[in-house]
Amino acid sequence: MIKRSQVTITDIAKYVGMTNMTVSRALKKPDKVRPETREKILAAASELGYVPNAFASHLRSRKNRLIGLVTASVDNPFYSEVIKAISRAAKEHDYTIMLIDTDGSPELEDVAIDTLLSYQVAGIILSPVSDDASYRPIYLERLRKANLPVVMLDRTLDVTGFSRVVLDNRLAGKLIGELLVQKNIERVLTLTGPRSSQITRHRLAGLKEAYKEGGVPLTLEQRPGDYTLQPAYRDMAAHLRRGKLPEAVFGFNQLITLGAMRALHDAHVSRDDVLVVGIDRLPYADIFDVTIPCAVHDTYQLGHEAFRLLFEQTKDPTTVGREVTISATLIQ
């Protein structure tokens, strides 16, 4: 006996000695099949334990109303908010989102693109695993040949021809820098993403620009990580073990900032002794009366613009790819 989860229309067809088309018609359009044929097929389906693939049927009925969304860090609260915005915008236009989390793996990212292409999605919103200028994923050529609307989100590949929605990272870094300059802080520890990340470089450039314009000397130490909490915690703890506190710690995203705060807490270092600043709003911090100065971006606008650009291209494939930049504001 075939296992229940493996029974297909082909299995039923072989069992009753009929064609796949006849079996499919009997199961989906029974009025189109002679009663005796229908009864034989339905009896075989019941005996074999056939269960229709409801998901596949749903996709077939919604052809070209499916949009792929690929992200490297669905556990990042920043991306969770963006995904929610995209999902809401998609629902307004009767599209369904297929979300794939690559967990920072280039291999899983490649599989994700293949999967979405196989489902013949109407378009893809992609936040790649890396924004290193040298990163050239092997799926790029497949995307181009598919002639599919693609919008890159936040992290982008250094290639032409695709629309993108990005953050004003230089401004975000500069806003934090201006705040530190106002407080006359000279020694800053930056916990960043990878050194080669364009986002990291732009945020650092903005920070340095603020100090240069403010005329305050800057002693800067950079600890590169991967935009996740644990490396930031490790690097902050290692820095504290050296015994010399920075005047300020600058986390380059909310997970990094949270990692730094946890390390300071575990080392019994008061935030009165070290100023913690960051990029992205800390989720639910206000519940605990925790106030962290931060440069924030409108996650709703980011997600909404990504869907809008994709929607424009699905309606008019001749639409030229373009870039939208989301500004930053300082919250103290």
List, run by run, the mean pLDDT of 10-residue segments along the chain (332 residues). Answer: 63 90 86 88 86 60 78 86 94 92 91 88 93 91 87 92 94 97 96 95 97 95 92 94 91 94 93 92 79 93 95 87 93 90
Per-residue confidence (pLDDT) for residue 2, from 0 to 100: 44
Rounded Cα distance, 226 and 76, in Å = 12
Q: How far apart are CA 209 and CA 228, in angstroms?
A: 26
Q: Which residues contact 108 (CB under 8 A, 6 or more apart)?
A: 102
Cβ atoms < 10 Å from Cβ of 227: 26
How many Cβ atoms from other residues are within 10 Å of residue 302's Cβ? 22
Q: What is the reported pLDDT for 328?
A: 96
Residue 314 CA to residue 308 CA, distance in Å, equals 10
User: What token pair was written down for 184?
Assistant: 């006359």
169-296 shares the fold of 65-168+299-327? yes
CATH of domain 65-168+299-327: 3.40.50.2300
pLDDT score at 55: 56
Sign of CA dihedral 212, 216, 219, 225: negative
* Axis crossing angle, helix 20-28 with helix 35-48, rounded to the nearest 10: 90
C-alpha to C-alpha distance for 164 and 324, rounded to whole angstroms = 6
Q: Is the pTM of this model over 0.85?
A: no
- pLDDT, residue 29, reads 81
Close Cβ partners of 144 (under 8 Å, ≥ 6 residues apart): 161
Hey, where are the domains in the chain?
4-52, 65-168+299-327, 169-296
Query: 4-52 maps to which CATH number?
Result: 1.10.260.40
CATH (one of 3.30.70.1450, 3.40.50.2300, 3.30.360.10, 3.40.50.300) for 169-296 = 3.40.50.2300
